[in-house]
Amino acid sequence: AMNDGSVDVARPSTTRSTDFDAIVVGAGISGMFMLYRLLELGLTTRVFEAGSDIGGTWYWNRYPGARFDSESWTYGYSFSKELLQEWDWKEHFSPQPDTLAYLNHVADKFDLRRDMQFRSRVKSATWDEANTAWIVTLEDGSRATATFLFTAMGVLSTPTLPKIPGRESFAGQAYHPGLWPHTPVDFTGKRVGIIGTGATAIQAIPEIAKTARQLTVFQRRPNWAAPLHNAKISKAEMEEIKSRYDEIYAHCRTTATSFIHNADPRATFDVSPQEREAFWEKLYAEPGFGIWVGNFRDSYIDEKANAELSAFVADKIRGRVNNRKVAELLIPKDHGFGTRRVPLESGYFEAYNRHNVLLVDVIKDQSIECITRNGVKTTKQEYEFDILIYATGFDGVTGAVDRIDFRGADGVRLKDVWAEGEPRTFLGMLAERFPNLLMVLGPHTARGNVPHGIEHCVEWHTGLVRFMLEHGYKRVEPKPDHVAEWTRTVLKVSEPLLAQKVDSWQTGVNRNVDGRLVRRVLGYNGHAVTYRKTTDDVAKGGYREISFR
């Protein structure tokens, strides 16, 4: 499925020594847009995708309750005015099936599938210096070569199962939310166990509780969460949103996290306790992330300020959970509100008021010993289940990269280079000793509203490749001193953050993965505007920080 229909403007008509000009790993939001831009440049491109179709996160995560927690109308692609005008979002926070339908619409509109190969999981990628090419090997043993290799695997795409013995002995159905079946799972009248109370569990628990005979939640450490306040979008409201898209996206380009919210310029103790309370009440009652990223500017750098905010949210949880003991178990004591990514919920805390929902605290009260044929055995008793759900999250940011054996110049392994402390990159997009490896949303890029981050990375890479085509360059690699400087910059902007003192996927800690117990800085935690300016300045300056041949 070569893209022979395009007008070949950028490429000189030389005989290609590789199978493709570019290979992209992943057909989610990143891979789809990267492919679109590469085809525009006239590059023959092949996307390898492990799943059976496009969609990435929204293809794999089909669990009950899966949805956006950023406003739908700020989440889509902004590169096509026509696309913005023809798509109607049904809800302010789009559920997974609608989001996947949107991405399918994009794939159809721009005819992206013909350059994609599905059910093709990449096993290894080896740099061939003699031919200035990457050799990509799939799990089925087939190989393909390309001058450029783009990683578009996402930051949360590698599910992790819990390190609990006996998992294979369970006789019932067992699922991970990130590997959910494509046919609905019926919980009616079933005894269900769910291990974990992170972001996926917080979305799934209220939904499963509606139909399950009994839902038992095993919690190791509670997470803060705040109300989503989702609502349908009427036809008239959608038309009004469409009329403001330029303004909406321009606004998102000014905020620290690329969401619609901006931190309040005031500090927590600049205002009276009454004003503070009123401000928090307002944010808590509003849809979306305002309570997290629209809060006082010192909320996540000043411990006293954060303690006040955490106390406010803790009181909200107490007010929503009838049983005082259960409420206390659901309130985090080991980290402050907003120091980990805040999941937004729809009736999560109220789910524990239902007679069919039981919370088991596996830290203080009892611990899980093993999974048995019938269910879960703790130090106190055995719980019997028909269905078990491992809501034990993902090996964040570097997990997907680690699953592929990337070997750069002189056979150096990317996994080894990144295992010692922080990942080392230039702008989160290029890695030293890994020529022509271009990362979309790699570690040390700006996060926040992910599709905005993706679009920026894709446009930056497109500019870089265009520059190479214009100058006849075949090989690109960042200069080591600029990699070191960028790594220092990333560490420096993270220093003041309370989040860096907390174990989370964003600081690289995952007890279900070997070697994931030391905190690291895995993202650029500065202002999104600063990140974009820094990266754009490199392009405007003619990429002096990068070596070309």
- pLDDT digits over 179-205, tens only? 999 999 999 999 999 999 999 999 999
Q: How far apart are CA 21 and CA 5, in angstroms?
A: 16
Decide: helix, strand or coil at residue 146.
strand
Token pair of 58, please?
């929204």
Q: How do the pLDDT tens digits run along the chain, 549 residues long? A: 434 333 344 444 445 689 999 999 999 999 999 999 999 999 999 999 999 999 999 999 999 999 999 999 999 999 999 999 999 999 999 999 999 999 999 999 999 999 999 999 999 999 999 999 999 999 999 999 999 999 999 887 888 899 999 999 999 999 999 999 999 999 999 999 999 999 999 999 999 999 999 999 999 999 999 999 999 999 999 999 999 999 999 999 999 999 999 999 999 999 999 999 999 999 999 999 999 999 999 999 999 999 999 999 999 999 999 999 999 999 999 999 999 889 999 999 999 999 999 999 998 889 999 999 999 999 999 999 999 999 998 877 777 888 999 999 999 999 898 887 788 999 999 999 999 999 999 998 998 899 999 999 999 999 999 999 999 999 999 999 999 999 989 888 887 777 777 766 566 666 777 776 677 767 777 889 999 999 999 999 999 999 999
What pLDDT shows up at residue 29?
Answer: 97
Taking each helix axis as running N to C, give the angle between helix 528-540 and helix 450-471, from 0 to 180 degrees, rounded to the nearest 10. Answer: 0
Write down the residue that tokens 């492919």 correspond to.
35
Is residue 121 within 8 A of residue 50, CB to CB? The reply is yes
What is the number of residues in the chain? Answer: 549
What pLDDT shows up at residue 394?
Answer: 80
Taking each helix axis as running N to C, give the angle between helix 96-109 and helix 29-40, from 0 to 180 degrees, rounded to the nearest 10. Answer: 10
Query: Measuring CA to CA, which residue among 426, 407, 544, 436 is closest to residue 480?
Result: 426
Helix or strand holding residue 477 (H, E): strand 476-478
Helix or strand holding residue 20 (H, E): strand 20-25
Other CB atoms within a 10 A radius of the CB of residue 175 amount to 18
Residues in contact with 513: Cβ distance below 8 Å, sequence separation at least 6, in sequence order: 160, 395, 399
Task: Please tell me the number of Cα atoms within 13 Å of 364 on its side-chain side.
Answer: 10
Beta bridge partners of 524: 446
pLDDT in tens, 486-509: 998 988 888 777 777 776 656 666
Beta bridge partners of 434: 431
Token pair of 356, please?
């069919």
pLDDT in tens, 342-364: 999 999 999 999 999 999 999 88
Residues in contact with 142: Cβ distance below 8 Å, sequence separation at least 6, in sequence order: none
The residue type found at 402 is D
DSSP letter (8 states) at residue 198: S
Token pair of 134, please?
């990457």
Other CB atoms within a 10 A radius of the CB of residue 421 amount to 11
Burial of 320 (0-12, 13-18, 19+ CB in 10 A): middle
Q: How far apart are CA 40 and CA 459, in angstroms?
A: 12
Beta bridge partners of 516: none
Degrees, nearest 5: CA angle 89-95-97: 90
Query: Measuring CA to CA, which residue among 328, 337, 257 is closest to residue 529?
Result: 257
Query: Measuring CA to CA, which residue among 539, 501, 535 is closest to residue 520?
Result: 501
Q: How far apart are CA 105 and CA 110, in angstroms?
A: 9
Max CA pair span of the chain: 73
pTM (2 d.p.): 0.94
Q: What are the φ and ψ backbone dihedral angles of 384, each rounded to 5 degrees?
A: -100, 135
- Compute CA distances 240 → 71, 77, 245, 289, 339, whole Å: 15, 18, 9, 22, 35
To the nearest 5 percent, what fractions of the chain are helix, strand and coil?
35, 20, 45
Q: What are the φ and ψ backbone dihedral angles of 331, each rounded to 5 degrees?
A: -95, 120
What pLDDT shows up at residue 497?
Answer: 75
Query: Measuring CA to CA, which residue among 474, 538, 503, 509 is closest to residue 22?
Result: 474
List, as one string, the DSSP characters of 97-140: HHHHHHHHHHHHHTT-GGGEE-S--EEEEEEEGGGTEEEEEETT
Q: How far apart are CA 470 and CA 81, in angstroms?
A: 28
Write down the residue that tokens 């078990």 correspond to.
388
The residue type found at 383 is Y
Query: Measuring CA to CA, which residue among 426, 420, 462, 458 is closest to residue 443?
Result: 426
